[in-house]
Structure 1
Amino acid sequence: MQGEGPSTGRSCCFLRLGGCNLTCSWCDTPYTWDWTGRSESGVAHRPADELHPMTAEEVSARLVAFGTGLVVVSGGEPLNQQSRLLPVVDAVRAAGAEVEIETNGTVAPAPELSAAGVRFNVSPKLAHSGIAAERRLVPETLKAFNAVAGTCFKFVCSRTDDLAEVEQVVRDHALENIWIMPRGQSPEEITDGLRALADPVSARRWNLTGRLHVTLWGNQRGV
């Protein structure tokens, strides 16, 4: 079930890709890239346990077999593998499903992928990620995403003070379709975050999203 953003609550199938070009301290999927325990979890995950090489044909067949109307591609950073991802997107789209790609917004989408009818859920990182600004905010890449119809920009906020930083990023890069999501790995954290953010987000005429999968099932994988 898609738990975040404009498609919250929709039945879907996830394709999660390994590897990321960023190293956010609070990353909620460190098992896709953190092999040394540098994230807040402190766990050094094993690539042999987490990464399972498959051909585009194998991946496409499994996704189509799920029979959902929506496929969400996430990571890690899926656009690091977009040349290999394109035939998968084409196959899924040909089977009648929609495709959303979750991305950190630092890798520009190839024209072929932008033209394939996918929606990009772009999540630019804020200073609390621990990543230097020049690595997490790439002006030309954000401009490219902003030009793709249907793109949303989703910011993870730890506290209401983060909204001022979001305002600055939105203003600097002329971003549209803004979504704010509370940071949290438990139902209680998500609920508290939503309550704290609701009024200031509404006052800015932005959109607010929770993390429905966390609210329903807690901090679990594969839901």
Structure 2
Amino acid sequence: MTTTKPLNLEPEAAEGESLIVAECFGTEVPTFQGEGPSCGHPALFIRLSRCNLTCTRCDTKYTWDWSRFDPHEESTRQSVAGLVAWASSSPVELVVITGGEPLIQQARLVPLVRGLITAGKRIEFETNGTIAPTPELVADGVRFNVSPKLASFGVKETKSIVPAALEAFVASGRAAFKFVASTVDDLDRIAELADAHRLAPVWVMPEGTTPEVITATTRVLADGVAARHWHFTIRLHVLAFADARGR
């Protein structure tokens, strides 16, 4: 399926009233939250553009890798009012705000979150956990799926593991910690990080962009995840929709 970009209802919106958006989907073609605590729940997605990491195994490089993608083709500036109106047009309750790294734009996210909550939505942020949320975002109706990136994901942990930010998410009481893993060694590293930073609850997700790889990786990880009494999440959108954009 092709990705549905949000309608630019107010193209002249001031910068402070708008966000840089890669894509929005879930209205014209319904979909689910594919990962984490709400896996399988009907969901709308607002994917913001830009990221502060450059993970080699990232599957949304069109939000930040301008050596391969054109930012003018892959992103548009969208008004907060237009995004709220877009989400409000659907009866689906859950709105997932993802990226890229959405908290790069968090000052401009505050009015979006307020508007979505007023419209009766609940919100999940998908974040890499390197930027602490502002107090205004730590609100009723908001949850954070925090996904710290391991060195095996193709990024230096000196950049991807930010203790102060992780501590802020823990203190919020509104975070789950979701790690992408592919080997038993990854599970050992997750355990070290969870112990060091008091991360809980821990969710593990098998890396992969095809059903075959996800199935194989699930079997590599399952015993170790179960032995540690962690949660396990699949990548439902890959199994259901073959990792198509806009699903």
Bin for the TM-score computed over the shorter chain: over 0.9
Aligned pair partner of 1:10 in 29, 38, 41:
41
Provide TM-score, normalisation by structure 1. 0.94
Aligned pair partner of 1:101 in 98, 119, 125:
125
Contact 1:106 1:137 in 2 (8 A): yes
**Counterparts of 2:177 and 2:144 in 1: how far apart (Å)?**
8
1:134 and 2:163 matched:
no
Supply the AA of the counterpart residue of 2:33.
Q
Aligned to 1:148: 172
Aligned to 1:20: 51
Aligned to 2:223: 199
Contact 2:177 2:203 in 1 (8 A): yes
**Counterparts of 2:168 and 2:138 in 1: how far apart (Å)?**
10
User: Which has the higher mean CA deviation after the structures are superposed, 5-14 or 126-135?
Assistant: 126-135
Supply the AA of the counterpart residue of 1:18.
S
Supply the AA of the counterpart residue of 1:49.
E
**Counterparts of 2:204 and 2:175 in 1: how far apart (Å)?**
14
Q: Which has the higher contact order (CA 8 A, sep 6+)?
A: 2
User: Which has the higher mean CA deviation after the structures are superposed, 97-106 or 116-125?
Assistant: 116-125
Contact 2:121 2:141 in 1 (8 A): no
Shift of 1:98: 0.7
Aligned to 1:185: 209
Aligned pair partner of 1:54 in 78, 83, 89:
78
**Counterparts of 2:53 and 2:184 in 1: how far apart (Å)?**
24
Contact 2:84 2:116 in 1 (8 A): yes
Supply the AA of the counterpart residue of 2:138.
S
**Counterparts of 2:140 and 2:99 in 1: how far apart (Å)?**
19
Deviations 1:127-153 (A, max 9, x none): 112322221111111000011223100
User: Which has the higher mean CA deviation after the structures are superposed, 100-109 or 61-70?
Assistant: 61-70
The number of residues matched between the two structures is: 216
Query: SS of 2:100's equivalent?
Result: coil
Supply the AA of the counterpart residue of 2:111.
P
**Counterparts of 2:120 and 2:201 in 1: how far apart (Å)?**
26
Aligned to 1:79: 103
Aligned to 1:117: 141
Aligned to 1:63: 87
**Counterparts of 2:184 and 2:132 in 1: how far apart (Å)?**
29
**Counterparts of 2:41 and 2:108 in 1: how far apart (Å)?**
26
Supply the AA of the counterpart residue of 1:86.
V
Aligned to 1:39: none
Query: SS of 1:48's equivalent?
Result: helix
**Counterparts of 2:223 and 2:153 in 1: how far apart (Å)?**
24
**Counterparts of 2:76 and 2:194 in 1: how far apart (Å)?**
37
Pairwise CA RMSD of aligned residues? 1.0
**Counterparts of 1:60 and 1:200 in 2: how far apart (Å)?**
42
**Counterparts of 1:69 and 1:96 in 2: how far apart (Å)?**
7
Contact 2:45 2:96 in 1 (8 A): yes
Provide TM-score, normalisation by structure 2. 0.85
Aligned to 1:214: 238
**Counterparts of 1:67 and 1:85 in 2: how far apart (Å)?**
21
Give the strand-richer structure, 1 or 2: 2
